[in-house]
Amino acid sequence: MSAPTLLERLRRRALIAQCSDPAVASALEAGQLTFYIGIDPTSPSLHVGHLIPLMLLYWLAKLGNRPIIVIGEATARIGDPSGREEARELLGEEQIAANAQRIRQQLQQLNKRQGITATLVSNTEWLSDLRYLDFLRHIGYHFSVNRMLSFESYRRRLERGLSFIEFNYQLLQSYDFLQLHQRYGCQLQIGGDDQWGNIVSGIDLIRRISRQESYGITTPLVTNAQGQKMGKTLSGAIFLDSEYTSPYDFFQFWRNIDDRDLSQALLRYTMLDEQQLQTPPDATASAINLLKERLAFEVTSMVHGAAVAQECRASARRRFGTDGDGGELAPDATLSQAQLEKGIAALDLFLACPFLQSRSEVRRLIDQGGASINGQPIDDPTTIIGSEALVEGRLLLQVGKKRHWSLAVE
């Protein structure tokens, strides 16, 4: 039996939805292609939804293919209608530029941790000074309105209303591909599956103008076992920037993934060998939890670095009283039953934490809303904590979003 092709291996890892031409596989396997993904800076941070195309980028780059990441500062001014029920809110140019700068820095850190080098460019290089009449005459001429309306992304929006400015988006994304083809020899575009119409239109434009072949690959639109968009919670999107989603909350998002999503998430979001990632049907709860912790550690390491991932894992184990093997984790310190029955001021409890150095620091922490005990916020340093606050014989002191200190009664 012949070995599986690269595309077959990546499909097994649930990273590929559609491919315009299977012939691209041999060129990718040989590490010969320049390819790109585009990211519009419509928010100041990447989110979990961006990880699938980035994982595909990392797999291809590690084989020697040459990645380009286009920061869509120009196209963000219009707003991509693909995969959306309503039009995007148009952002100001200053906000777009600020978002682009933050996302560029995020991408540089992510790429560095993966050990790959990607060319980062902004499509303002070729779109900001575009002459509209020339664009319509030389580029718009090649587009069929009937064909554009046949694509799912536009067809769905017609029922709710599609603005003329959004209708131009496909032309601009296709022009991006053409420019990258002419400037960098780019032959392959990668995007989410809702980008299929835009990608195919770019392939067609390159064929018409440059008389050369190019390719497209889409990644699946990721939903969980409940059919919800992956990376969304009741509080909103899960961002990669620690300012918007703390590393601890990011770790816990993956640690709390639905059992039914675990095997696929391990395949998609890690580069671990497939044989290590199978979840047997009769796996114990302890074994499943270990795999979830491994998933959380791997993805957090990729996004925030191994040191931060280790700290998040240690904090989670303290918080939930486990040692990672299903056993009970020893507390950081102990209290006597008599002490707790008498009652201890919250200020004195937090002062026992080794990372708080003074009473004034504890007071400031409490005043700023950064202290809680067993999940209950503390808003007064004189609050008396008694035995009624125990949960399973422990007090878990939380300092800010990441640090925890566990106390048990002896």
Please, which pLDDT band fits residue 32 given cuts at 50, 70 and 90?
A: confident
SS3 category, 323: coil
What would the pLDDT profile of 285-304 be if each residue is shown by its tens digit?
A: 777 888 899 999 999 999 99
**Is 333 in contact with 352 (CB distance < 8 Å)?**
yes
Sign of CA dihedral 286, 289, 293, 298: positive
pLDDT of 202 > 50? The answer is yes
pLDDT on residue 282: 64
pLDDT on residue 11: 93
Please, which pLDDT band fits residue 21 given cuts at 50, 70 and 90?
A: very high
What single-letter amino acid sits at 181? Answer: H
Please, which pLDDT band fits residue 225 given cuts at 50, 70 and 90?
A: low
Question: pTM higher than 0.85, yes or no?
Answer: no
What would the pLDDT profile of 143-201 be if each residue is shown by its tens digit?
A: 877 787 777 767 666 666 667 777 788 899 999 999 999 999 999 999 999 899 999 99
What would the pLDDT profile of 97-141 be if each residue is shown by its tens digit?
A: 999 999 999 999 999 999 999 999 999 999 998 898 988 888 888
pLDDT of 363 > 70? The answer is yes
**Is 194 in contact with 82 (CB distance < 8 Å)?**
yes
pLDDT of 326 > 50? The answer is no
Residue 392 vs residues 1, 18, 409: alpha-carbon distances, Å: 56, 50, 10
- Structural element, H or E, at residue 112: helix 93-114
Average pLDDT, the chain: 84
pLDDT on residue 328: 47
What would the pLDDT profile of 232-278 be if each residue is shown by its tens digit?
A: 444 568 999 998 998 988 998 999 888 889 999 999 999 988 776 76
Please, which pLDDT band fits residue 226 given cuts at 50, 70 and 90?
A: low
Give dist(CA 12, CA 403) in Å, integer: 38
Give dist(CA 318, CA 330) in Å, integer: 8
Q: What is the largest CA-CA distance in the chain?
A: 85
